[in-house]
Amino acid sequence: MSRLVILVVLLSWSPPAASQPALLGCSNTEECCLRRNPAQPQMCGLQSQSTHLAEEAAAGTVLLATAIDGGALDSYLRHVASHLALILAVEQVGGIPPPDKPPREQTRSHWWREVKAAMKNLKQVLKKCRSRRQMLSALRNVSNAPTESQIADIEVRLTEAARKMGDTVDELLPCKE
């Protein structure tokens, strides 16, 4: 019996496990992963983020702790703009045209519900947004993303569509200044 216990103890203790640094001081999963794999941050899902952070550090800009998903932000803005173009019956809103051929059974009230749902999703994406500057920086990293002037046009058209639909809307991009 004692030989079995000694064998189990020897098998559970291995030199690679003993040589790893203690991970007790980790405050989150990414930090622990980086401690285990300091030479390979891409294993921790940080390749693109670390590259982006290195570029910002080289440029001398201020780094913010929380990231905004620029791709999702761009997608929801485009969705809002295209549906506003349908509601207002205009060629484009913020440089974004309406969908090619919307189904006939869909009406302005349907498109307005789409806009409201997209705005709800935008709020979720911007939940950790600290400033409008941070949000615009996240959009700059996305190709063909709306510019600041296009976003301003979307915001103006949003209030116009809300008035037309007899509804009120919150701010399109609720980032703190």
- What is the number of H-type helices and E-type strands within the chain? 8, 0
CB 160 within 8 A of CB 153: no
The confidence score (pLDDT) of residue 48 equals 46
Q: Which of 49-63, 74-88, 116-130 has the lowest mean pLDDT?
A: 49-63
Is it the case that residue 154 has pLDDT exceeding 70?
A: yes
**Predicted confidence (pLDDT) at residue 66 exceeds the cutoff of 50:** yes
Name the CA radius of gyration of the chain, rounded. 25
The pLDDT value recorded for residue 64 is: 42
pLDDT value of position 95: 92
CA 3 from chain center: how many Å?
A: 56
Spatial separation of the C-alpha atoms in residues 66 and 134, rounded to whole Å: 9
- Average pLDDT score over residue span 99-104: 72
Average pLDDT over residues 128-152: 89
Tokens of 129: 């947004």
Name 138's Cβ contacts closer than 8 Å, sequence gap at least 6: 67, 68, 69, 70, 73
pLDDT at 62 exceeding the cut of 50: no
